[in-house]
Amino acid sequence: METSVQRSPTTGLLFGLIITLAAVVAYSSYITVQLAGLRKLQSEMVDRNRKDSLQLLRVQNDLNSVALAMRDMLDAGEPYPLTAWSAQFERMHSDLDVALRTEEQLAPADRTAEQKKYLSQSVAQFWDAMDRMFALAADGKDAEARQQIRLTLQAREESLSTAVSRLLVQNNEGEQQAAARIAQIYDGVQRQVYLFLTAVLVMIVLTSLYLIRSNRMIFAKLAALSEQRSELAQKLISTQESTLRNISRELHDEFGQVLTAIGSLLGRAGKQMPEGSKMREDLQEVREIAQTTLDKIRTLSQALHPVLLDEAGLVDTLDWYIPTVERQTGLKLNYEKSGSPYALESAASVHVYRVLQEALNNVSRHSGAKEAWVRLKFGREALDLEVEDHGKGMSPNRNGRGIGLVAMRERAELVGGSLEVKPSAAGGTTVHLRIPREKAEAHAE
């Protein structure tokens, strides 16, 4: 029996250790890059804080312009009426609104809702008071309008300026605290990452050394298990064949005889009925159903374990089986026999038949081919079975590891043979079973 020699996994483990160490180094570089990117992100947050401060300065500048304009409006020597300042205040109002909207979008996360509400309400109240002042001026009540500037508008403007100044101070303090906190966090993260990577490296080295030390013992156990697996596979396949043979015989003998008897009784009963009667037609229909069931049971019995295999041998069984497959699957099978046939061991016949059965199933289900070639050769040195198709070939993902292929290889090993699955020269797949003649040929006792 051919046995495959497995190499010790030591080389693979050493290679895996090198790959793991390289991965850890790459991970360290990756973490460093990520930390740098995160630091950049934090810097952008600080930049946003600074942009918010610039908008606050813009607001403060607009408020200062408003304050200067109101002071000029209170100047008694000013030659222009109060209503002449309306257009200038409209421009300042528009610029201030734009600055406040932009600042609201850039406001830091720690800005409270009360602060935002106070600023927006104060600005709204200021401009409401300004509109009332211009309304008084438009009605010719300049004295009352100037009085409102002194008592209300200047006070509100100072309150707004104070609030904006507080926000600027708060932004500056927050920026300093954020910068210090970011530096502290990054220092801690870097230390933790370095400690973690050091611990991981130590664990990887220790684990790898342990695996390298223990792999030889595992390999010895695997060799013993491989022998046990081969023995178990032989017993399982033998048990399977025995079970299928018994089920096949039960179906053929017991159920077949029962259905045959039922058909005979139905035939006699039908003859006793008058010609053209409904009962006679029903009995005939039931008889046909029984006959159809009998045919299906016989077909199933043959599929489980062909009786011909025990009675007539492999050659006659294949002469019956291959045309049957053609009818059932629609495949065109070109069957070629060569050499002088000789009697085969019962086990060898069963295994050759099962390998052919599985190979043709694969052609029908997976290859997409409409034609296949089956070659059976009785050579002086060995018995060869070859199944070739010109379909789409074997999927690279399967790589010969399907359950059916594994079973075929097990059967080949059980009779001391070998199984080769390879691409066909014309495209498709070729399955080649080879059994030494001394293992396959039946010996007279």
| Shared domain check, 185 and 77 | yes
Residue 79 within a domain: yes
Report the run of H or E that residue 436 belongs to, with start and end: strand 429-436
For residue 300, tell me if it sits in a domain: no
Same domain, 206 and 311: no
Indicate if the pLDDT at residue 2 is higher than 50: no
CA distance 361 to 87: 93
Confidence band of 4 (pLDDT split at 50, 70, 90): very low
pLDDT tens readout for residues 336-364 = 999 998 888 888 888 898 899 889 988 98
Residue 9 has pLDDT above 80, yes or no: no
* pLDDT tens sequence across 398-430: 555 567 788 888 888 888 899 999 888 778 899
More reliable by pLDDT, 228 or 189: 228
CATH of the domain at 98: 1.20.120.1730
pLDDT at 160 over 90: no
Q: What is the pLDDT of residue 78?
A: 66
Interatomic CA distance for residues 162 and 168, integer angstroms: 10
Helix (H, G, I), strand (E, B) or coil at 39: helix
Q: Are residues 193 and 338 in the same domain?
A: no
In a shared domain, residues 311 and 198: no
Q: How many domains does the chain have?
A: 2
Q: Are residues 203 and 321 in the same domain?
A: no
pLDDT at site 338:
92
Task: Tell me the percentage of the chain whose pLDDT exceeds 90.
Answer: 8
Does residue 441 surpass a pLDDT of 70?
yes
Quote the tokens at residue 208: 């790898």
Residue 1 has pLDDT above 60, yes or no: no
Residue 119 lies in a domain: yes
**Where would I find the H helices in 313-425?**
314-329, 346-362, 403-414
pLDDT of residue 43: 66
State residue 253's pLDDT score: 65
Question: Locate tokens 């209503």: which residue?
Answer: 83
Helix (H, G, I), strand (E, B) or coil at 377: strand
The count of residues in the chain is 445
For residues 86 and 206, membership in a common domain is answered with: yes
Report if residue 312 sits inside a domain.
yes
Whole-number Å distance between alpha carbons of 260 and 295: 10
What band does 395 get if pLDDT is binned at 50, 70 and 90? Answer: low
Give the percent of the chain with pLDDT over 70: 83
Q: How confident is the model at residue 52, as a pLDDT?
A: 81
pLDDT tens for 246-305 read 776 666 666 667 777 777 777 777 777 777 778 877 777 887 887 788 777 767 766 666
Three-state DSSP class for residue 141: coil
Of the three residues 187, 210, 233, the one that is the final residue of a domain is: 210
Residue 100, C-beta contacts closer than 8 angstroms, at least 6 positions apart: 55, 59, 119, 120, 123
Query: The domain spanning residue 402 has which CATH number?
Result: 3.30.565.10
Q: Say what the pLDDT of residue 384 is.
A: 94
Q: What is the pLDDT of residue 3?
A: 44
Same domain, 141 and 25: yes
Output the pLDDT for position 8.
56
Residue at a domain's end among 192, 210, 228: 210
| Residue 107 backbone dihedrals phi, psi, to 5 degrees | -60, 135
Mean pLDDT value across the chain: 79
Domain limits for position 55: 10-210
Determine, yes or no, domain membership for 104: yes
> Which candidate, 428, 423, 425, places its Cα nearest to that of 390?
428
Out of 158-167, 248-257, 317-326, 414-423, pick the least confident. Answer: 248-257
φ, ψ of residue 332 in degrees (nearest 5): -95, 115
Range with the lowest mean pLDDT among 32-36, 162-166, 327-331? 32-36
